[in-house]
Amino acid sequence: MTPKEFVNAHALREVALARVGSTLSAIETPPGHPRRELVEANASQQGTRRTRIRRDYLCASNMLAIAIVLAVCSGCGGRNAGSSETADAAAAGTGDPAVAPSYLENPAHTNAIDDPYLPYPLHRLWAVDLGPQAVVSYPLIVGSFVYVIVTQKDTADSTLLNLAANTGGAIWQAPALGAGNPAYDVAGGGRVFAVTRGGLAQAFDYTGKVVWTKQLPGSGYLVPPVAQGGVLYLDDSSGQLSAVDEASGNVLWTQGAPAMAALSTTPTVSDSAVFLSYSAHGQIFAAAYDRATGAPLWSHSVSESCMPGAFDVGPTPAWFDGDLYTSLPCIAGYGLVLNAATGMQAGMFGAWFPPAFHDGRVFSASPDQLSAVDLKTGATVWSATMAQGFASAPLVVGGEVYVVGGSTLMGFDEATGASNWSDNIGSFAGSETTGAFVSLSAADDVLVVPAGTKLIAYGPAH
């Protein structure tokens, strides 16, 4: 399967929905399932927004919906797995607009999502202050739920929170075993994973119940994990990559870093491979491994001017349309483009914060400038500046590019770069190079921003 044939399981359910029609309207969530109350509340408060209600029923009934997909798509001759329409959407790295299951939006880390129901201008839906000593992870959005790990600096207590995306109200909270990073996967009915820096991993079901707890091999899990296709991928501070079965917590395989590589990096997942980007001993190493077995596929290195200790973690690579994009932290503002199948260098691109990829363009933010570059020609389509300087990775959603500058969340037109919208969020701080993984997240008509000790959510202004 090529990258352009990679189809997200959520997208298949959306295709099935169009064919099943009223059948899914009869699907009931289990008694006591928190999404049942949310769907009813959404139906009464937002009756005209049928898309969200439709997705709520789908996400609430994963197993039944998957069965319907298999039954319907096996005999349909229209859009289905392998069709050019769904394949192109998947290759664009945008996935299902109802889900943001990973750091930088998705396992490919493209930081973009196609959600036509989240156009500017946005309206602030809610803001939740999680305490004066709170350290807030990047948020995950799954249908009408927002998941976030909150650690209190004064007590070191950590909690996995499940919030209602439309109100910010707490649905449930569960003790986590320490400061860490979350991931989500639809496999197994939908599970949330929390991994501490010491390597303790937990799996939670939709009610907040702990399914399993495991001590992972290695140590120093500083970077976000990625959950995809029933497997949790993690990288530790020595560069060891581990694949963990999401159902049991058992380790499926481990693979060491290339010779002399060190430091941990967030795994990036394509249809067939897992990619890492390491930094050590004056060099940047990028490597690819087989998703099923962990077997090394290729590695690539380039010399840099910095030495070990300059950075705590390696840059997060992004997989987009058959290429791998990885930043060069020692050469500020630049990154490598590698052929994802062979590891051969295909070019360079501008990068400081993790970039976003959408519609044939790369959107890059630096402290001085936000720019859009055509990936085919290398031409700068537009650029923008602001007095406060930019401080976050950009996020592309609903025809807008959202990015934080100083204490302001800004929205720029994706096509022209015109500044369309802004809101003061008070605080925003985070850098991959120091292990503080903070990013914007958007899905299911909601944009969520971690702002200091707060979470702030935005939705359509209607």
pLDDT in tens, 25-68: 322 333 333 333 333 343 333 333 334 433 443 333 333 332 32
Q: Which of 42, 58, 91 corresponds to the end of one domain?
A: 91
Domain around 13: 3-91
Distance CA 239, CA 419 (A): 40
Instruction: Report whether pLDDT(199) > 70.
Output: yes
Confidence of residue 402 (pLDDT cuts 50, 70, 90): very high
Of 118 and 411, the structure prediction assigns the larger pLDDT to: 411
Q: What does the pLDDT read at residue 71?
A: 30
* Same domain assignment for residues 327 and 365: yes
Q: What does the pLDDT read at residue 265?
A: 81
Confidence of residue 115 (pLDDT cuts 50, 70, 90): confident
Run of H or E including 116 = none
* Same domain assignment for residues 57 and 161: no
Confidence of residue 204 (pLDDT cuts 50, 70, 90): very high
Instruction: Report whether pLDDT(414) > 90.
Output: yes
Q: What does the pLDDT read at residue 422?
A: 93
Q: Percent of the chain having pLDDT more than 70?
A: 70
* Same domain assignment for residues 398 and 420: yes
pLDDT single digits (tens) 177-192: 777 789 999 877 789 9
* Same domain assignment for residues 60 and 134: no
201-211: average pLDDT: 93
Whether the upstream peptide bond of residue 121 has omega within 30° of 0, thus cis, is yes
Give the torsion through C-alpha atoms of 39, 44, 46, 52, to 10 deg. Answer: 20
* Same domain assignment for residues 352 and 425: yes
Q: Which residue from 11, 127, 112, 51 is spatially nearest to 425, judged by alpha carbons? A: 127
Class of residue 74 by CB neighbours under 10 A (exposed 0-12, middle 13-18, buried 19+): exposed
* Chain length of the chain: 462
Q: What does the pLDDT read at residue 407?
A: 87
Q: What does the pLDDT read at residue 304?
A: 59
Q: What does the pLDDT read at residue 319?
A: 96
> pTM here?
0.78
Please give the single-letter amino acid code of residue 212: W
Supply the DSSP string of 50-91, one letter for each residue: HHHHHHHHHHHTHHHHHHHHHHHHTS--SS-TT-HHHHHHHH
pLDDT single digits (tens) 234-244: 988 777 899 99
Instruction: Report whether pLDDT(337) > 70.
Output: yes
* Same domain assignment for residues 137 and 79: no
Mean pLDDT score of the chain: 76
Cβ 275 vs Cβ 318: under 8 Å: no
* Same domain assignment for residues 42 and 115: no
Q: Which of 66, 91, 116 corresponds to the end of one domain?
A: 91
Domain count, the chain: 2
Q: Percent of the chain having pLDDT more than 90?
A: 44
Instruction: Report whether pLDDT(159) > 50.
Output: yes
* Same domain assignment for residues 62 and 151: no
Least confident of 63-77, 161-175, 228-242, 444-458: 63-77
pLDDT single digits (tens) 294-313: 999 998 887 655 544 444 45
Q: What does the pLDDT read at residue 92?
A: 36
Confidence of residue 269 (pLDDT cuts 50, 70, 90): very high
* 291 backbone φψ class: left, alpha, beta (φ>0; ψ -120 to 50): alpha
* Same domain assignment for residues 32 and 140: no
* Same domain assignment for residues 20 and 113: no
Q: Which of 46, 73, 91 corresponds to the end of one domain?
A: 91
Q: What does the pLDDT read at residue 282?
A: 63
CATH number at residue 447: 2.130.10.10
* Same domain assignment for residues 107 and 62: no
* Same domain assignment for residues 78 and 114: no
Cβ 365 vs Cβ 392: under 8 Å: yes
